[in-house]
Amino acid sequence: MNTPLDPLAFGGEVLTQNEVERLLSQVQDQQSTVTVFSDQGTQKQYEPDQIQPFDFRQPVFLAPSEMRKIRLRYEDFIRTLAANLSIYLRAEFGVRMSKLQTISYQKLAESLPNPTHLTLFKAEPLQGICILDLPPHLGLTIVDRLLGGPGHSVNGNRELSDIESALLDEVIMFILNDWCKQWQKLQELHPVMLGHETTPRFMHTSAHDTVMLVLSMEATLGDCTELIQMAFPYFTIEPLVRQLASLTAPEKEASPKVSGKPRWSTDYNDIPVNVNVEWDGLELSLRALAALKPGDVLLLEPDCLERTRVNLARTPKFHGRLGTRAQKWAVQLTESIVP
């Protein structure tokens, strides 16, 4: 409730309009500045926009410039990882950054699915235990590809067997080595695997309030798309952050995108991809199918060849029109298939 000014409070004198406006102006000036006390006991006035709020419940220790430099390095890491894994698996392995954030260890553990495939590792000589979360569905798809399968239409979201886990460790070491190589100009790092967990609540690698830098990557192999997460305690990456800040050479800034087209990497040039064409348009009963014999003629609808499907690695990507060219069968691509 606003209390009206009492003239007696000012020595019994009635204030003029100018004096009232001057007092109000002084109050507004005091409210528009923030008083900061230093550790020496001195006071200094700052504008509100010069004060950065700090949330003690979820602290963020990385400045925006530091986070930007780390993001640029991680983008290089993701491009390299996608190319190397595609060559290693001899299949298209897509990776893109989903999120880069800092959260507490407790929130990270609560957000992890159950069951999952967690790999605990160290990046020697750095301190602290880091975590790599690879969903079982993606792990089983990778194992299927390593065993000579298509890496497609793999069912199940179960725990991996010992043999499957051992095969997947080869790919996990591939990921960890690529991550360490991104920092080799600053410090020589060597990944060391410590073990595996399937249930996040049994994992106690850091204190609950430890700040973790979490990189989330969307990985795609065949028809499987899952989220891979790499989590690092802040005190683990702090030496790397300090060295990044001390670099005198200008850091590479992200260039503005000229177009929305992805940039092609020459590492993909020699990766073989199976391409096949199919169409629908003929239905037979089981009796008619069982009665088929060589020499029978199957009648197709005239327009079925106008809408063929072009599959890349068994994944539908385009619609096309079947025809001939240079005395060979050919397909003219007419439209993309939006997933």
Summarised one tens digit per residue, pLDDT across range 134-176 is: 999 999 999 999 998 988 888 877 888 899 999 999 999 999 9
Structure tokens at 99: 């999120």
Higher pLDDT, residue 28 or 297: 297
Burial class (CB in 10 A: 0-12, 13-18, 19+), 252: exposed
Q: Band the pLDDT of 36: cuts 50, 70, 90.
A: confident
Top pLDDT among 264 and 289 is at: 289
Closest CA to 130 of 71, 188, 179: 179
The per-residue pLDDT for range 66-123, each reduced to its tens digit, is 888 899 999 999 999 999 999 999 999 999 999 999 998 989 999 998 889 999 999 9
Q: Which value, to the nearest 10 degrees, does the dihedral of the CA atoms of residues 56, 62, 64, 66 take?
A: 170
Contact indicator for 180, 193 with CB cutoff of 8 Å: no
Helix (H) or strand (E) holding 94: strand 93-104
Burial of 296 (0-12, 13-18, 19+ CB in 10 A): exposed
| The model's pTM | 0.59
Among candidate residues 160, 162, 163, 105, the one with its CA nearest the CA of residue 131: 105
For the chain, where do the domains classified as CATH 3.40.1550.10 start and end?
A: 64-255
pLDDT 10s digits, 297-336: 888 777 777 778 888 877 888 888 888 888 888 888 888 8
Q: How far, in Å, are 163, 201, 202, 210, 231 from residue 106 at the CA level?
A: 31, 10, 12, 8, 12
**Contact in structure between 166 and 117 (CB atoms under 8 Å):** no
In the chain, the largest separation of any two C-alpha atoms, in whole Å, equals: 119
DSSP annotation string for 26-53 = HHHHHHTSEEEE-TTS-EEEE-GGGPPP
Distant-in-sequence, close-in-space partners of 267: CB < 8 Å, separation ≥ 6: 83, 84, 86, 87
Nearest to 306, CA basis, from 320, 317, 293, 316:
320
* Three-state DSSP state, 237: helix
User: Could you check whether the bond before residue 200 is cis, i.e. omega within 30 degrees of 0?
Assistant: no
CATH class assigned to 275-336:
mainly beta
In the chain, CATH 2.30.330.10 covers 275-336
Residue with tokens 């003219």: 332
SS3 99: strand
Confidence of residue 35 (pLDDT cuts 50, 70, 90): confident
Q: How many CB atoms lie within 10 A of CB 190?
A: 12
CATH 3.40.50.920 for domain 64-255:
no
